[in-house]
Amino acid sequence: MQDNQLSKEEISQLTDADWRERLSSEEYHVMREKGTERPFTGVYNDVNDEGIYRCKGCGAKLFDADNKFDAGCGWPSFDQGIDNAAIDEHEDNSLGMRRTEVTCSNCGAHLGHVFPDGPRETTGMRYCINSVSIDLDKSAK
C-alpha cells in the first residue's frame, strides 16, 4: 500500500453518497454512524504482523503494529496512536455509558474507544479499535 492519504480538501468534497460508495455497509456503519463490530470477529483481532495501521476511510497513518497488544477484549488494541496528531478523542455518553471515542483526525471516521486499563509498563491506555475501520500496511514502517 502506498502513502495515498486523502487530503483534508479531498475529504471535505466527499458527500454521504461518496462515503457509502467508498466503504462497505459494515465499514460505513462503524466509521460514519459510530457503530461497533462484534467482538472477536474482526480480521485484525489476532494479527501480529509488522507494519502501520491506516484509516480505512482516508489512508491516514493511525497506529504502529509495535504498539498492538492482546487485551483479550475481542478488538485490536493499541497502547498509543502513531503520534499525537493521528487520532482525536471525544467524550461519548451514548448507550448510558461514559467513554472516550477515538476518531481519525484526518477524516473524522469513528475508530473505537480508549480506556485507561492498558499495559502499565507502557502508556496504561487501551485504544480498542474496530478492525473494519483500519487497514494494515505491511510495507510501511
C-alpha grid cell, residue 99 = 467513554
CATH number of the domain at 8-137, please?
Answer: 2.170.150.20
Distance between CA 38 and CA 94 in Å, rounded? 17
Kindly list the domain boundaries of the chain, sorted by start residue.
8-137
Catalytic residue among 86, 128, 129, 136: 128
Which residues are part of a known binding site?
A: 55, 58, 104, 107
DSSP H or E stretch at residue 64 = strand 61-64
Q: pTM of this prediction?
A: 0.91
Which residues are part of a known binding site for Zn(2+)?
A: 55, 58, 104, 107
Task: Name the 3-class secondary structure at 76.
Answer: coil
Q: Is 73 a catalytic residue?
A: no
DSSP state of 18: H
Distance between CA 8 and CA 67 in Å, rounded? 26
- Per-residue pLDDT tens digits for 62-73: 999 999 999 999
**Average pLDDT of the chain?**
92
- Per-residue pLDDT tens digits for 88-121: 999 888 777 788 999 999 999 999 999 999 988 8
